[in-house]
Chains A and B, each alone.
Chain A
Amino acid sequence: MSRYSAFALLRNWLGGNTDWDPVWRSPEPASSYDVIIIGAGGHGLATAYHLAKHYRPGRIAVIDKGWLGGGNTGRNTTIVRSDYFYKESADFYDHSLRLYASLSQELNFNIMYSARGILNLAHSRHEVDFQRRIVNAMQLNGIDAELLGREEVLKFCPVLNGDPNARFPIYGAMRQKRGGTVRHDAVAWGYARAADALGVDILQNTEVTGFRRDISGGVQGVETSKGFIGATKVGIATAGHSSVVAQMAGFRLPVASYGLQAFVSEPVKPVLHTVIGSAVIGSYCSQSDKGGIVCGGGIDPYPSFAQRGSAATMEKVLAGIVQLVPTFSSLRLLRQWAGIVDYTADSSPIIDRSPVPGIYLNVGWGGGGFKAIPAGGEAFAHLIAKDEPHPLTTAFGLQRFRDGALIDEAAAAGIEH
């Protein structure tokens, strides 16, 4: 892998850009691997990278039915943050945010971590009280968080609706300064390039159609659209399709899949310099480096695998954006799309062994998987390599559903998490 740098860019400028290597290979599947990860999204690729770099379990493949990074990694609204309430979540997500901060150097790929801050607005005194609860929890967990008053909020983000008689007047906001955005595709591509350089085979356009198990029930490999591929261990990191893959392996998961939509406006000159959102209004947005206002909101209200989205949700989310920033009313929507997200009952993920020996789970991220990619990859690699949970994810197992020990971040939710 040739290194990326300003110097390499200059050299290629003079050389007509003919000297760039492929970012990853397009290998044919081997007959078997030591570890197969299903799902070449951020989590799957990061897992392969960490496995190859730190645990070296042998041959590793990441397989995907489509193009790498084509699921939720390439469909989300690029927000990263660690403003979580419970310690279990806070420790995990903040570790992820810290990994993001140095990920460009780690991968030698500019993932454009932009710590532009994230503002969660409060529209009543009661909400301010509630945010104080969260901010204090974050501070006790060692995470930066502030509670801003109305005037501070409007000074920090002047485009917000400052009308005291607005339907949702601003009373204050919670801010995490290290929160912000990361270029989503770059995360998939950066991990893919780095994993490929470490010998990981990324098998795109290879669809898993079933599992082969031995007489004791343990996994032997996967049936795919390109034939059988043997594997000692198989990790599932297929987000919205986790239950579809689980069904092939013969078990059910405590998840339901929903469409989560995202929206982007035409590009405009810089006007919004932070991430803004409101749980009460149900919308949030930020401005991409290209200039588009990237908007999101809640999930569609019924299960779906359509990657399309309901028009009613679109109306609500965009009307909500206009509530947040009235001048965005004349801004025009360029593109709407949806990803399929798998939600657990407590909106927290599952990183655990599955009921089938040799099959491991990294699922249930809901709408919040993107921000968790670096730590999710690290933890999942640890789980697969050592067959025991990473210390940061011991609470995120399947057992919690039997015990009732949910980590319900609904309490800490901005809009989604």
Chain B
Amino acid sequence: MMRIACPNCGLRDEREYAYGGEAHLDRPELDCDDQAWEEYLFLRANPKGEHAERWVHVHGCGVWFNLIRHTETHEVVAVYVMGVARP
């Protein structure tokens, strides 16, 4: 049961949040080729290590934010607001 620091609400239990997939994926333009769309939709970094990902404080303030989490230890390395580049 992780604890995650919501940028608005502070440290809360994992249960209050929902995971929202890998962060910093750029949605291609409509005229992109099939490969670009495939990469956007399906190909993932999926590292064993630090992973930049999106979360939403779904049972809380509702904010979406980014965090960097170690996928083996589940240590939260950084939390940063949406729209900011990976630290």
Contacts and interface: CB of A to CB of B under 8 A. Distances in A.
B53 A311 contact: no
Contacts of A255: 44, 46
Residue of A244, A254, A305 most packed against chain B (CB within 10 A): A305
Nearest to B74: A306
Contacts of B42: 254, 344-345, 401
A303 B46 contact: yes
Contacts of A345: 41-42
Contacts, number: 67
Contacts of B8: none
Interface extent on B, as a size class?
20 to 34
B34 interface: yes
B15 A252 contact: no
A305 B72 contact: yes
Contacts of B47: 243-244, 247
Interface string A228-263: 000000000000010110010000111111000000
B43 A254 contact: yes
A387 to B, nearest CB: 23
Contacts of A403: 34
Contacts of A14: none
Nearest to B49: A305
A303 B41 contact: no
A302 interface: yes
Interface string B44-87: 11111001010000000000000001011110000000000000
A304 interface: yes
Interface in A297-313: 301-306, 310-312
Interface string A327-370: 00000000000000010110000000000000000000000000
A402 interface: yes
Nearest to A346: B42
Interface residues of A, number: 25
Contacts of B44: 243, 252-256
A257 B34 contact: no
A255 B38 CA distance: 12
Contacts of A241: 48
Contact of B14 (A247, A305, A312, A344): A312
A311 B1 CA distance: 6
Contacts of B34: 402-403
Which of A256, A302, A311, A345 has its CB near the most chain B CB atoms (within 10 A)? A302
Nearest to B18: A301
Residue from A241, A304, A342 with most neighbouring chain B CB atoms (10 Å): A304
A306 B71 contact: yes
Interface string B17-41: 0110010000000000011001001
A306 B43 contact: no
A401 B38 contact: yes
Contact of A301 (B19, B69, B72): B19
Interface in A242-295: 243-244, 247, 252-257
Interface string A396-407: 000001110000
Contacts of A311: 1
A253 B14 CA distance: 28
Given A303-B51, A306-B73, A256 B38 contact: no
Given A255-B46, A312-B14, 12 more contacts: A244-B47, A244-B48, A253-B46, A255-B44, A305-B48, A305-B72, A306-B71, A306-B72, A310-B14, A312-B1, A401-B43, A402-B35
Interface of A: 241, 243-244, 247, 252-257, 301-306, 310-312, 342, 344-345, 401-403
24 contacts: A241-B48, A244-B48, A252-B43, A252-B45, A253-B43, A254-B38, A254-B44, A255-B46, A256-B22, A256-B44, A301-B18, A301-B19, A302-B19, A302-B53, A303-B19, A303-B46, A303-B51, A305-B71, A306-B73, A342-B46, A401-B38, A401-B41, A402-B38, A403-B34
